[in-house]
């Protein structure tokens, strides 16, 4: 008998927490639809029910992660592109929350290693990065690259999705291009073999995967993930094995949207 009240309290708390986590904190703004339909191919391919879920997940992300524009006034389209990039890689995961990001900082254009972004600073070649040290749990993006990722429909390239996939790779404790949490231990070796085979082709100029994917395992995983989300049909046709492996990683069998 003395356990009943504590048990009720625990059950009530669990129920409340689940409800809170599942329920978006507000209605999604009407202009999101127009922006998503016009620019985000992943969203265009979803059915109406999935589109509602996608927007709810975006809203949850925006409520949990601070997005800041430096040197320009942030617009709704910037927020929509950041949140869409966050949700695309994890859309088929059940009740997913990023635990390793609290803020996204956006500069107008590319920036350098010291986060200099003004026109007069040198070596501004970085378009996106996952921060560390002082910037741990922060993502830094170029606004130009963020927009380019969605507006160019044919280049298999999307900087913001790339950076969010780095965050997923980081989750198993090591950023190594091996998403062992997602594909399962038994597929680690096949993944590594497949990765090295394709990296060799990239570096011999015999692959249509962007050359940056040949620079390291870490970048290979993110570059082919961009390809997977931007041009899935093309990837399936040109690289069926790679497609199958990425499908296993990002579209696990238990699909919350079915
Ligand atoms: Zn990268």
pLDDT computed for residue 9 by the predictor: 59
- Residue 152: per-residue pLDDT: 84
Ligand 1 centroid from CA 116, angstroms: 19
Q: Which residues contact 236 (CB under 8 A, 6 or more apart)?
A: 243
Q: Where are the domains of the chain?
A: 7-154, 180-250
Centre of ligand 1 from the C-alpha of residue 163, in Å: 6
Residue 143 pLDDT greater than 70, yes or no = yes
The closest of 216, 193, 197, 217 to 207, measured between CA atoms, is 197
* pLDDT at 118 (0 to 100): 85
From residue 194, give the alpha-carbon distance in Å to each of 26, 49, 54, 164, 177: 44, 35, 31, 22, 12
> Cα of 30 to ligand 1 centre, how many Å?
33
Distance 252 CA to ligand 1 centre (A): 24
Please give the structure tokens belonging to residue 124. 């501004």
Mean pLDDT of all residues belonging to the chain:
89
**pLDDT for 182-229, tens place per residue?**
888 899 999 999 999 999 999 999 999 999 999 999 999 999 999 999
> What separation in Å is there between the alpha carbon of 18 and the centre of ligand 1?
34
Give the CATH class of 7-154.
mainly alpha
Ligand 1 ion: residues within 5 Å (CB): 219, 222
User: 69: part of which helix (H) or strand (E)?
Assistant: strand 66-69
CA gap 237, 145 in Å, rounded? 27
Predicted pLDDT at 120: 84
């Amino acid at each position: 008998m003395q356990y009943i009240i504590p048990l009720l309290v625990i059950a009530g708390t669990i129920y409340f927490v689940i409800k809170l986590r599942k329920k978006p904190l507000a209605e999604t703004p009407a202009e999101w639809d127009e922006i998503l339909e016009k620019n985000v191919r992943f969203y265009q391919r979803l059915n109406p029910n999935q589109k509602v879920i996608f927007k709810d997940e975006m809203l949850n992300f925006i409520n949990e992660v601070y997005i800041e524009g430096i040197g320009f006034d942030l617009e709704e389209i910037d927020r929509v592109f950041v949140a869409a990039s966050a949700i695309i890689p994890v859309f088929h995961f059940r009740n997913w929350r990023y635990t390793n990001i609290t803020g996204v900082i956006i500069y107008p254009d590319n920036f350098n290693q010291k986060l200099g972004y003004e026109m007069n600073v040198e070596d501004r070649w970085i378009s996106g990065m996952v921060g560390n040290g002082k910037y741990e749990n922060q993502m830094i993006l170029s606004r130009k690259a963020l927009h380019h990722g969605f507006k160019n429909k044919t280049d298999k390239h999307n900087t913001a999705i790339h950076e969010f996939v780095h965050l997923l790779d980081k989750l198993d404790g090591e950023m190594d291009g091996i998403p062992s949490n997602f594909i399962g231990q038994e597929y680690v070796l096949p993944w590594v073999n497949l990765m090295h085979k394709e990296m060799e082709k990239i570096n011999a100029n015999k692959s249509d995967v962007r050359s940056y994917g040949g620079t390291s395992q870490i970048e290979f995983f993110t570059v082919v993930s961009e390809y997977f989300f931007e041009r899935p049909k093309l990837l399936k046709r040109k690289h069926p094995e790679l497609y199958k492996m990425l499908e296993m990683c990002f579209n696990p069998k238990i699909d919350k949207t079915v």
